[in-house]
Chain A
């Protein structure tokens, strides 16, 4: 594979990177990352402080996702990837019943159950999805039945929970059902069972949306993510606001793609580095690495590109 040398400071580099979706694949990992970072950190003086004009063209692009893929793999290989990453990689090979006894979130989630149904009666997801029943999920978790747990992890219903916690204040056993579900969902992804459901497959998109924002902008949601195309239900006033979002945000004291401490801010690379090390230190890269591998395999199986796969799981359902 030939590797094109990039000069990220010239206009032609921008065109190369942004216009040609297939143009960057042959690039070596380090070059890709360096090009991205140079473009990201390019500054210009603005009336409200230092501005970073390229972020809006980098976020949520195939280029950024490919860079993230490469970086995840590289970081996951680092020695300082650490104890938790190894733990998750090991835990992936164990039975679900083992996970429930050993995962930090699952360990404290359930203290028993009298099947009283208070959780299901308060759950908004159970209200709107006939086949969703959190009490039954608790029952499966307490059943010690590996086959039932696997079935649950492969199901659509595991993904209906909206993590609102309505089930929590009234459980007579003081269970934390919401976090049991978080724990099961994490396991489903590690083991690849999420691929068996439409909503589970969406996690690949979720990883790049929230994970991508977190990894690259230190904030799970980027203000340009809430664009009218992905949120047509927000109406024309939102579309109008969004068309002038930079000026509107600046006006009220936020920091769209600028240095600062409020919404939309561009964090210094030093902060981003610390954040990334915290994320990696907690073992998350074991998940991201796994999600990537599963997605690539699925895309290959379907005969589509990884980006086509990303678009598909994002809009399915």
Chain B
């Protein structure tokens, strides 16, 4: 009887699942479509701060540590540049076909395919893709990373001048029925606050304004991070940004209403960062079809029962972990990965008898 687990997705969640399975003595096949492990995390400049603002200073530090742990045993069999092309059989006797021509006999499948950031080009009012000084949060993150294109300095893309005035726009592509995305992407308020706080820490004279609808820094330590950001001088203006317009020198004029004082706001910024919401990974439709599992109305994979079986997909033996199952911060992905690994290991143990 097969006792291997096929883990689809080599981001931090997939790595965690494979690693925890190893600690439980369960072998796995980790399938990652890109050329390296870690997913989105390696390009992050900071990971979410705990109480003392002492998260990792570079996402790669974290993913390298994870990868070391993962490769310390021979139990995970890692396939990079590979995708899943077919699934046959039923739990606990699956046969998974991979794009490299091989196939894997496995007792369970864990889908840890994560998410992709929303592309704000379709929201023409922000000028993304048209005005050089309008970027996305992930691009801001990479710019803040010492390994990034500017060595961690925040500069205007059009002329390289240092950024003194930064606008961070919340809810870009989320909480918007009009575009068919009524859901909240959960992590953006928190990562935006982290970014704003980082910028102020490095440049206390900067003017950083977060344009928010709500501040959903809800997890443990995040409210404290929000307070820290404000102590550092980040300005929070309650109003959704409606347009960004470029002035002759490339400066971006941002428009919103400051709803707490009922006044329209019109400000000029060196750089505007769009805190884009998240969408399910690009391959969600293909995977849903190949694996025979359903998605929810928000497009992410659907679990079978909300409370008691939150990791079970709608097909026996196929499990969901990490952001594929709904957006969550990195720490929660790690927790999720561990608990799915335990669930799967227990299942395999039962079926082995």
- Check if B23 is an interface residue, CB within 8 A of chain A: no
B184 → A minimal CB distance (Å): 11
User: Which residue of the partner chain, among A117, A127, A170, contacts B239 with CB atoms under 8 Å?
Assistant: A117
**Highest count of chain A CB atoms <10 Å: which of B255, B256, B257:** B257
- Check if B262 is an interface residue, CB within 8 A of chain A: yes
A211 → B minimal CB distance (Å): 34
Which chain A residues border B50 with CB–CB below 8 Å? none
Determine if A172 and B176 form an interchain contact, defined as CB atoms under 8 angstroms apart: yes
**Highest count of chain B CB atoms <10 Å: which of A115, A116, A118:** A116
- Check if A174 is an interface residue, CB within 8 A of chain B: yes
- Cα-based distance from A115 to B175 in the complex (angstroms): 12
Determine if B175 and A172 form an interchain contact, defined as CB atoms under 8 angstroms apart: yes
Q: Which residue of A lies closest to B123 (CB)?
A: A170
- Cα-based distance from A172 to B125 in the complex (angstroms): 13
- Check if A135 is an interface residue, CB within 8 A of chain B: yes
B190 → A minimal CB distance (Å): 19
Determine if A121 and B177 form an interchain contact, defined as CB atoms under 8 angstroms apart: no
Q: Which residue of A lies closest to B170 (CB)?
A: A116
- Cα-based distance from A101 to B263 in the complex (angstroms): 30
Known A114-B213, A117-B256, A117-B259: A122·B242 in contact at CB below 8 Å:
yes
Interface residues on chain B, number (Cβ under 8 Å): 22
Which chain B residues border A136 with CB–CB below 8 Å? 262
Q: Which residue of B lies closest to A123 (CB)?
A: B264
A120 → B minimal CB distance (Å): 4
Determine if A135 and B259 form an interchain contact, defined as CB atoms under 8 angstroms apart: yes
- Check if B353 is an interface residue, CB within 8 A of chain A: no
Which chain A residues border B171 with CB–CB below 8 Å? 116, 172
Q: Which residue of B lies closest to A126 (CB)?
A: B264
Determine if A122 and B239 form an interchain contact, defined as CB atoms under 8 angstroms apart: no
- Cα-based distance from A246 to B243 in the complex (angstroms): 45
- Check if B240 is an interface residue, CB within 8 A of chain A: yes
- Check if B218 is an interface residue, CB within 8 A of chain A: no
Which chain B residues border A122 with CB–CB below 8 Å? 242-243, 255
User: Which residue of the partner chain, among A118, A169, A173, contacts B257 with CB atoms under 8 Å?
Assistant: A118
Known A121-B239, A135-B257: A170·B125 in contact at CB below 8 Å:
yes
Question: Which chain B residues (244-258) contact chain A, with CB distance < 8 Å?
Answer: 255-258
User: Per-position contact with B for A87-130: 1 when CB-CB < 8 Å, else 0?
Assistant: 00000000000000000000000010011111111110011001
**Highest count of chain A CB atoms <10 Å: which of B125, B171, B178:** B178
User: Which residue of the partner chain, among B239, B262, B263, B265, contacts A116 with CB atoms under 8 Å?
Assistant: B239
- Check if A216 is an interface residue, CB within 8 A of chain B: no
Which chain B residues border A114 with CB–CB below 8 Å? 175, 213
Known A126-B264, A136-B262: A118·B240 in contact at CB below 8 Å:
yes
Question: Which chain B residues (85-102) contact chain A, with CB distance < 8 Å?
Answer: none
Which chain A residues border B213 with CB–CB below 8 Å? 114-116
- Cα-based distance from A66 to B171 in the complex (angstroms): 56
Determine if B242 and A174 form an interchain contact, defined as CB atoms under 8 angstroms apart: no
Q: How large is the interface on A (under 10, 10 to 19, 20 to 34, 35 or more residues)?
A: 20 to 34
- Cα-based distance from A130 to B264 in the complex (angstroms): 9
- Check if A133 is an interface residue, CB within 8 A of chain B: yes
- Check if A171 is an interface residue, CB within 8 A of chain B: yes
Which chain A residues border B264 with CB–CB below 8 Å? 120-121, 123, 126-127
- Cα-based distance from A114 to B258 in the complex (angstroms): 14
Determine if A172 and B262 form an interchain contact, defined as CB atoms under 8 angstroms apart: no
Known A120-B264, A122-B242: A174·B178 in contact at CB below 8 Å:
yes
A35 → B minimal CB distance (Å): 54
A312 → B minimal CB distance (Å): 32
Determine if B175 and A121 form an interchain contact, defined as CB atoms under 8 angstroms apart: no
- Cα-based distance from A118 to B125 in the complex (angstroms): 12
- Cα-based distance from A119 to B259 in the complex (angstroms): 11
- Cα-based distance from A172 to B178 in the complex (angstroms): 5
Known A116-B239, A127-B264: A121·B178 in contact at CB below 8 Å:
no
Question: Which chain A residues (147-180) contact chain B, with CB distance < 8 Å?
Answer: 169-174
- Chain A residues near B (Cβ < 8 Å): 111, 114-123, 126-127, 130, 133, 135-136, 169-174
- Chain B residues near A (Cβ < 8 Å): 125, 171, 175-178, 213, 238-243, 255-259, 262-265
5 pairs of A and B residues whose beta carbons are closest in the complex: A117-B257, A116-B240, A117-B239, A120-B257, A172-B176
Would you give 7 A-B contacts (Cβ < 8 Å), ordered by A? A116-B239, A118-B240, A120-B259, A121-B256, A121-B265, A133-B262, A171-B178
Q: A116-B171, A120-B262 are known contacts; what are 17 more A-B pairs with Cβ within 8 Å?
A: A115-B213, A117-B240, A118-B239, A121-B240, A122-B242, A123-B264, A126-B264, A130-B263, A135-B257, A169-B125, A170-B125, A170-B178, A170-B242, A171-B178, A172-B177, A173-B177, A174-B178
